[in-house]
């Protein structure tokens, strides 16, 4: 599942439900994969008025992640 955003902070978000991996591509600072993310987290991005504000909430939840090179 893919969400392309109009955010100044995030260009796109990709969710792989089978693997529970959420990938966020930032406009500055690269791209990161977050692991063991439930579907509801991706749904919250899709329902959010501000993707940037939702991202701030998401990052505070402490998911394991890795930077994509």
Per-residue pLDDT of the chain (69 residues; tens, 9 = 90+): 777 777 888 888 999 999 999 999 998 879 999 999 999 999 998 888 888 889 889 989 999 999 997
Q: What pLDDT is stored for residue 9 in this prediction?
A: 86
For residue 40, give Cα distances in angstroms to 25, 45, 47. Answer: 19, 9, 10
Q: What pLDDT is stored for residue 18 in this prediction?
A: 96
E strands within the chain?
2-4, 10-16, 21-26, 31-34, 65-68
Q: What pLDDT is stored for residue 17 in this prediction?
A: 95
Going across the sheet that includes 31-34, the strands are 2-4, 10-16, 21-26, 31-34, 65-68
């Amino acid at each position: 599942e893919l969400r392309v955003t109009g955010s100044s902070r995030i260009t796109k978000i990709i969710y792989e439900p089978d693997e529970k991996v959420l990938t966020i591509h930032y406009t500055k600072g690269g791209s990161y994969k977050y692991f063991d993310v439930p579907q509801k987290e991706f749904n919250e991005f899709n329902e959010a008025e501000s993707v940037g504000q939702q991202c701030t909430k998401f990052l505070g939840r402490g998911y394991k992640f890795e930077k994509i090179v």
